[in-house]
Amino acid sequence: MKIAIVKETEEKEKRVSASPETVKKLISLGFSVDIEEGAGESSFFSNEDYKNSGANIIADTKTIISNADIVLKVNTVHKDGKGADDIKNYNKGTKVIGFLKPLQNPNQIKDLADNNIDAFSVELIPRISRAQSMDALSSQSNLAGYKAVIDSVSEFSKAIPMMMTAAGTIAPAKILILGAGVAGLQAIATARRLGGIVSAFDVRSAAKEQVESLGAKFIEVVSEDDNETESGYAKEMSDDYKKKQQDLLHETIKSQDIVITTALIPGKEAPELITNSMVQDMKAGSIIVDLAAEAGGNCKLTKLNEIVIEHGVKIIGYADFPSKLSQDASNLYAKNLLNFVQLMVKEKKIEIDWEDEILKKSCVSYDGKVLNI
């Protein structure tokens, strides 16, 4: 069994799909592990580190991919990709595992199927207790929530905690988190540690207890609707709810110094939570960090991968927050993939158990057919 760890080519991507630690464990499963030269450099894993873990270092991209039974990726493979992201480098029957964005890019998944590449997308791993150790969305979102707060603080022109000095008292910053999923909860915890006065909003009333347990105030629109999917994600809400939500947020946001938005709906554009008029009513010097920028943004004025200033408010729309913490992000993601790959191996042979809910639901392309999207 051969497994390949390749160098990512997307702009600003610094993560890698295996660490020296997980390479050792993949070898113990019966794999021969090939690493593309320089694949881990941006995560501070050297070629020598991988060699010492038992991997082979291969310089040529096409060679490493064409010899592999399984290729572990961070980002997807497609027609216009470069290097390891180029679909032309892959043989029929190769198994690819990574963040393939199947709901956002169905045409790219069709290309994988047309080329008989068997693909598994980590975004579709079901949220069941047995799959928690494989939940790459959560491991990366957790880091994104933390980094969003750190970046917002570095861009903010004032201090975060209350400070009492001989020259006067500095009031603590007010920080609002929109969306209390994994990223939002980590953002709340980080903002609280820094001394901010933190409040949070989520359409899911079930999030209230988690928010309050972290010491933040929960802002709520009272609704009789069932606002959570079976998978634990937020549903798209009714027009009446959206109107009440907008009014509440508009009033709340006027007093905030920092707003971090994390609201996403799988397979759809991110809900617009912050309108142009809301930004206009915010205090000059305020910060918005939009973690949903890649899905269209929660703020009307967000621009993907840019920082813009509108009405005196700085709006950060970067899509690479986990990648900015590449060493930790890669370590966690590598463990997620290791746990996933273990499901495919029986007695040192690759064997896909289609009765396994995790493998079945995460597979997006198999035997020339598109699945699960």
The residue extents of the domains of the chain are 2-124+326-364, 141-323
In this structure, what are the phi and psi dihedrals at residue 116, rounded to the nearest 5 degrees? 55, 35
- Active site residues per annotation: 127, 132, 135, 138, 233
What are 332-343's pLDDT values in tens digits? 999 999 999 999
3-state SS record for 263-284 = CCCCCCCCCCCECHHHHHCCCC
Mean pLDDT of the chain: 95
Tally: H helices and E strands in the chain: 12, 19
Q: With cut-offs at 50, 70 and 90, classify the pLDDT of residue 241.
A: confident
Which of 168-182, 262-276, 348-362 is predicted with the least confidence, judged by mean pLDDT?
262-276
Distance of CA 63 to the CA centre of its chain: 30
Q: What is the mean pLDDT of residues 54-74?
A: 97
Q: What is the pLDDT of residue 227?
A: 61
Between 240 and 286, residue with greater pLDDT: 286
What are 96-131's pLDDT values in tens digits? 999 999 999 999 999 999 999 999 999 999 999 999
Q: What is the pLDDT of residue 232?
A: 60
pTM for this entry: 0.93
Comparing CA positions, the residue from 168, 122, 92, 134 lying closest to residue 367 is 92
Which of 3.40.50.720, 1.10.3720.10, 3.30.930.10, 3.40.50.2300 is the CATH number of 2-124+326-364? 3.40.50.720
What are 164-185's pLDDT values in tens digits? 999 999 999 999 999 999 999 9
Q: What is the pLDDT of residue 282?
A: 98
Q: What is the mean pLDDT of residues 242-248?
A: 91
DSSP 3-state helix, strand, coil percentages of the chain (rounded to 5)? Answer: 35, 20, 45
Three-class SS state of 151: helix
**H or E stretch covering 175:** strand 174-178
pLDDT at 235 over 80: no
Find the helix packing angle between 136-155 and 326-342, rounded to 10°.
170
In this structure, what are the phi and psi dihedrals at residue 250, rounded to the nearest 5 degrees? -60, -45
pLDDT at 230 over 80: no
Q: Which fold has domain 141-323?
A: Rossmann fold (3.40.50)
pLDDT > 70 fraction of the chain, expressed in percent and rounded: 97
Q: In angstroms, rounded to a whole number, what is the distance separating the alpha carbons of residues 257 and 148? A: 14
Q: What is the pLDDT of residue 228?
A: 65
Query: Which pair of tokens denotes residue 354?
Result: 């289609």
Q: Do the first three CATH levels of 2-124+326-364 and 141-323 match, i.e. the same topology?
A: yes
CA distances from 273 to 92, 167, 242 (A): 44, 39, 9
